[in-house]
Amino acid sequence: MSLVEIGPPHFDVDISIAYATRENFTGQPVYSRPGCYLHADAAERLARAIALAKPQGLRLKIFDAFRPAEAQWALWAHTPDPEFLADPKRGSPHSMGAAVDLTLVDSNGRELDMGTGFDAFAPLSHHGNTQISAEAQRNRFVLLGLMSAAGWDFYSSEWWHYQLFQPRGKYPVLSDNALTQPMMSDAVKRRAAETAAKYA
């Protein structure tokens, strides 16, 4: 199954793949390059969300999309917290190309205040949390409205995470070799395989 590459000019979005940098909860790069891909069904819904955001003077900024199964194991090895990470034995919607982590930016490319940063594994990241500012709550609701209207489901614990409805059983879990150009180094994949073997 082929994945659709997400980015200009076909998708008018900002790309900032956090797991290709140290700017994620592990503090280390998980990907060796910042690839951004989605299943065709998800790519279609992303295009809808882009179109809905544009008249509002807003654009989408993507932190993560397709996440190879090996990467999910690498994240789980670091923080096996099922509230914020899908157990890789079940399969993450990200590893199906059926989920995206994102935020909104204004016409100047500035991220809207969402109350927390991406990958903040804390109750403040939950949808509907009222301990963040009123502005941040409004911004989350704008993102929720755009994504919901475009056909996405949300995850209650993470304001940045959206996925296709009921992806498990419909979309296969894919590894890094599903890509013609891998996103992960052999060393990270080896460590991920060792982790998977421990949980087998």
pTM: 0.95
* pLDDT value of position 199: 81
Poorest-pLDDT segment among 35-39, 54-58, 187-191: 187-191
* pLDDT value of position 2: 79
* pLDDT value of position 13: 98
* pLDDT value of position 129: 97
Summarize pLDDT for 33-48 with one digit per residue, the tens. 999 999 999 999 999 9
Summarize pLDDT for 75-103 with one digit per residue, the tens. 999 999 999 999 999 999 999 999 999 99
Residue 79 to residues 24, 72, 109, 152, 196, Cα–Cα distance (Å): 12, 10, 31, 26, 14
Mean pLDDT of 160-165: 98
Catalytic residues: 158
Q: How many CB atoms lie within 10 A of CB 57?
A: 9
123 φ, ψ (degrees, to nearest 5): -55, -25
Percentage of the chain exceeding pLDDT 70: 100
CA-based nearest residue to 40, from 97, 95, 92, 99 = 97
Q: Domain range holding 51? A: 4-199
Is 178 or 200 the better-scoring residue by pLDDT? 178
CA-based nearest residue to 58, from 110, 94, 131 = 110
Summarize pLDDT for 3-21 with one digit per residue, the tens. 999 999 999 999 999 999 9
CATH code, domain with 136: 3.30.1380.10
Task: Please tell me the total count of domains within the chain.
Answer: 1
Residue 94 to residues 101, 137, 141, 184, Cα–Cα distance (Å): 9, 25, 22, 15
pLDDT higher than threshold 80 for residue 71: yes
Residue 198: pLDDT band with limits 50, 70, 90 = confident
pLDDT higher than threshold 60 for residue 1: no
pLDDT higher than threshold 90 for residue 108: yes
Say how far apart CA 88 and CA 73 lie, in whole Å. Answer: 6
* pLDDT value of position 56: 97
pLDDT higher than threshold 90 for residue 31: yes
The average confidence (pLDDT) of the chain is: 96
CA-based nearest residue to 67, from 106, 9, 26 = 26
